[in-house]
Structure 1
Amino acid sequence: MTNGIVRAIKRNLISQLFIASTILTSGAIINVIQVLLHILVKPVNKRLFHRLMYYVSWTWLAQCVFIADFWSNTELIIYCKKEVFDVLGKEHHFTLMNHCYEIDWLIGWLVLEKFGCLGNARGFIKNVIKYIPICGWFFGFAEHIFLQRSFEKDKAVIEERLDDILQYPDNSWTVVTAEGTRFTKEKHEASQKFASERNMVPLKHHLIPRGKGFITCVPILKKYKNLSVLNLQLAFDKSAKVEPTLVNLLRGEKVVAHVYIERISIDNVEPTQDYLNKMYQEKDEIQDSFLKFGNFFEGLKQKPIDGIRMKPRLCVAVNTLLWFALNLSFMLYYATKMILAGRFVFLLSISGGVIALFYIMMQNIIRHSKVNKGSQYGKK
């Protein structure tokens, strides 16, 4: 009975809109705080600016993590050697992650949160995103690396921003999708044709990686000793009843994310296209093993590693519930104020408009997260 009520609440559109409205309204508040940090703190004390931006970033991204961790009870299982697990989050990480699922970005944040690096997570993002209100502004003020996808323009940006990130007082976790765009059937066919024409090894589950950005990054990474490159591979069971989509998570549907992590010493990383191609050939074999056998090791004839089930952190729930309480208090205060003033029609009009606005914004986020709505980049 209780489970049925909880399930009904999670599937209710009003509940989903309340979560979306809290994330968006808190995002607007956080945008203001970010601007103030840039104006008042960064010119005076850059180290303090980075430390404060860590907590500001965490409190917003943790609300998204809440959707996976607590709302949908998503399971995160990490597969890596013990010596790798013990250093995750304790050094700067430069991570190459596959990009083929609708919620791979959210699972990435889930991994980062578990190892205390969510507030210092940075990524390579297409430049147009930073102009999107709230979400795009957040990433812009948090100083993610925005690229115009013109190497002549982006090279200097990569060199300056990556060097700055690696000087953060706390360990950072920079995530890169070297394929340049999300995997789709159409882009995969173009990628295989590209590989065939150039006598390259075609990939089954990835696009041919684009190496100019990676080659630019490696010499900068090699300047720092407390740093490693991570090969992070995300997979979902293809026979699972629940598809890994944002809609399903908002409906409270549980998914199980399997994440393979390999640590590579920066001393062993080469700034070449051939090295990157070989790394993606390895990622392809890892993914192929999981899709065929349900694990990352059997297809590679490697000794299996037991998965580590990562537990949700209570601080994520507390943070989100506080934002929920603030949002609900704000709504109740103004609703009560208008009711006491006898402005019922005005209240209904405003409420309808606000609900419609948040619904449109929520649907827009869902639409842009879908695989078939990926960037056109890489199709040619």
Structure 2
Amino acid sequence: MGEPPVITTSTKFDKCRGAIFGISMLLSAFFGCIYVLMPLAPLIFLHPRFYRRIVDRLVGFWLVMPSALMEYLFGVHLTITGDEIEHSRPAVIIMNHRTRLDWLYFWSVLFRINPWLLTSEKISLKGILKYVPGAGWAMGSNAYMFLERSFENDSKRIDHLIEYYANVGDNYQLLLFPEGTDKCPRATGRSKTFAEKKNIVHYDYVLHPRITGFVHIIQKMRKENYIDHLYDVTIAFNDSIVQSEVDLIKLGVTAQDVRFDIRKISIADLPTTDQELGLWLKNLWVEKEERLRKFYSQSSDTRQLDKLPNAKSFDLTPQNRIFQLLILFMWIILTIGWIYFFLTSNYRFWLALVTIGFYVGLQKIYHGSEMFISKIGLDEWRKRSDSNRQHPAAANVSNGNIKRD
């Protein structure tokens, strides 16, 4: 049977929905940066840890808005099985990357498992996304990991941000797509050419994973003693596929039936050498290809991702649905209020100019606000560490305050 069709056309009503979604995201993110994140900027210097904690929560709960709109505006239905992702433990989450909307669907998954996971998730993304006005600035403020697909440059960025995560005082779960890009026609063609060149099998449902970056991230997190588990997530689509966020906004349509299965793996069960770890990932992707082949070979009325015997199911509880709707309405009301205040304020252009100048300046000088914020945070931690070594009694008190769960 194979995968469901990729949607390329839609009705006028659908296009209106897409416009509503796109405008809502753009305005809420842009004005949120002006009226929420920008006023908090002094905390980057005054109290880096408090800044990190409050921005994690603000951005995390903003993520409820797009994920909720996907469900209530577009009617997305999710089926989630597998192991629970622990909010209190540092981890890496890996997933096959079928579309450029996978991370958007996954926010709804995290909300169902534990809403607080939205405040502790970090994502590895393409570097170009940091330049998106509003949303890109917010993701940078939230210390997402933007990569340029050049390991020589990315390795330094990876090391820097993992050190920051490990020493900021909270436990994060880093979402990583080992394939490096979504399975669009262009990427599929490149993967086929690569497979022919290397005389290896060409996959139908996944791309060949990129070993180097994955191995580097796992080994660096091990070195920092900042990883307890790896979560292997498989995503599949039952009814249709929408390839990108551009298609989502332009066409106003999305997949209606999305399936997820999550498998929790102790970091102690992963190989320790670089070569064996890379081979482990390759073998995992062979298994993932076969799981998806089995899924897509079944009838769309009955097919399911195979799951382990002790797998759980995660649904939206009545309490979390109320919580989700309250957060959605809160952001809608705030966005309307911000727009009104901006249009009626005598200082609106100065507010916008300062915010744009701040984020664009950090992108030019430090290659992203996430690099600047993490630099300040690491500098503060190193100063405290030096002080603790000089004053052991004070160190005992300090360590009691910052110890991770």
TM range (shorter): 0.7 to 0.9
Matched ranges for 1:103-182 at <5 A = 103-114=101-112, 115=114, 116-182=116-182
Determine the C-alpha separation between the residues in 2 that align with 1:175 and 1:134. Answer: 21
Q: 1:317 to 1:20 in 2, by over 3 A?
A: farther
Residue aligning to 1:55: 57
CA contact (8 A) 1:34 1:142 kept: no
Residue aligning to 2:293: 288
Determine the C-alpha separation between the residues in 1 that align with 2:187 and 2:235. Answer: 19
Determine the C-alpha separation between the residues in 1 that align with 2:111 and 2:79. Answer: 14
- Amino acid in the other structure paired with 2:237: F
Q: 1:206 to 1:15 in 2, by over 3 A?
A: closer
Determine the C-alpha separation between the residues in 1 that align with 2:204 and 2:17. Answer: 40
Q: 1:14 to 1:192 in 2, by over 3 A?
A: closer
138-147 or 159-168, which deviates more:
159-168
SS of alignment partner, residue 42 of structure 2: helix
Q: 1:128 to 1:99 in 2, by over 3 A?
A: same
Residue aligning to 1:233: 234
181-190 or 258-267, which deviates more:
181-190
Deviations 1:145-200 (A, max 9, x none): 12222111111110110232244544322111111111123432432332343343
- Amino acid in the other structure paired with 1:289: K
Q: 1:91 to 1:322 in 2, by over 3 A?
A: same
Determine the C-alpha separation between the residues in 2 that align with 1:252 and 1:314. Answer: 25
Residue aligning to 1:100: 98
Residue aligning to 2:321: 313
Tell me, yes or no, if structure 1 residue 30 matches structure 2 residue 32: yes
- Amino acid in the other structure paired with 2:290: E
Tell me, yes or no, if structure 1 residue 190 matches structure 2 residue 193: no
Determine the C-alpha separation between the residues in 1 that align with 2:75 and 2:18. Answer: 15
CA contact (8 A) 2:124 2:147 kept: yes
The sequence identity of aligned pairs, in percent, is: 21
Determine the C-alpha separation between the residues in 2 that align with 1:333 and 1:163. Answer: 40
Q: 1:169 to 1:196 in 2, by over 3 A?
A: same
SS of alignment partner, residue 57 of structure 2: helix
Deviations 1:283-306 (A, max 9, x none): 2122112111322229xxx75957
Determine the C-alpha separation between the residues in 1 that align with 2:338 and 2:253. Answer: 25
Query: 2:87 pairs with 82, 89, 110, which one?
Result: 89
**Cα offset for 1:261?**
0.6
- Amino acid in the other structure paired with 1:175: L
Determine the C-alpha separation between the residues in 1 that align with 2:338 and 2:176. Answer: 38
**Cα offset for 1:16?**
5.5
* Unmatched segments (≥5 aa) in structure 1: 1-9, 338-380
* Unmatched segments (≥5 aa) in structure 2: 1-11, 345-405
The higher-RCO structure (CA 8 Å, 6+ apart) is 2
Determine the C-alpha separation between the residues in 2 that align with 1:236 and 1:65. Answer: 17
TM-score using structure 2 length? 0.68
Query: 2:280 pairs with 259, 275, 279, which one?
Result: 275
Determine the C-alpha separation between the residues in 1 that align with 2:190 and 2:282. Answer: 17
CA contact (8 A) 2:17 2:252 kept: no
SS of alignment partner, residue 146 of structure 2: strand
Determine the C-alpha separation between the residues in 2 that align with 1:328 and 1:42. Answer: 28
**Cα offset for 1:227?**
2.1
CA contact (8 A) 2:166 2:226 kept: no
Matched ranges for 1:241-256 at <5 A = 243-244=241-242, 255-256=256-257
Determine the C-alpha separation between the residues in 2 that align with 1:12 and 1:77. Answer: 24
Residue aligning to 2:263: 262
Residue aligning to 1:359: none
CA contact (8 A) 2:292 2:305 kept: yes
Determine the C-alpha separation between the residues in 2 that align with 1:323 and 1:171. Answer: 26
The number of equivalent residue pairs is: 316
- Amino acid in the other structure paired with 2:99: Y
SS of alignment partner, residue 42 of structure 1: helix
TM-score using structure 1 length? 0.73
**Cα offset for 1:68?**
2.1
Determine the C-alpha separation between the residues in 1 that align with 2:328 and 2:170. Answer: 23
Residue aligning to 1:203: 203
Determine the C-alpha separation between the residues in 2 that align with 1:333 and 1:157. Answer: 38
Residue aligning to 1:374: none
Determine the C-alpha separation between the residues in 1 that align with 2:70 and 2:159. Answer: 34
Determine the C-alpha separation between the residues in 1 that align with 2:14 and 2:227. Answer: 47
Q: 1:287 to 1:50 in 2, by over 3 A?
A: same
Residue aligning to 2:388: none
Residue aligning to 1:357: none
- Amino acid in the other structure paired with 1:49: Y
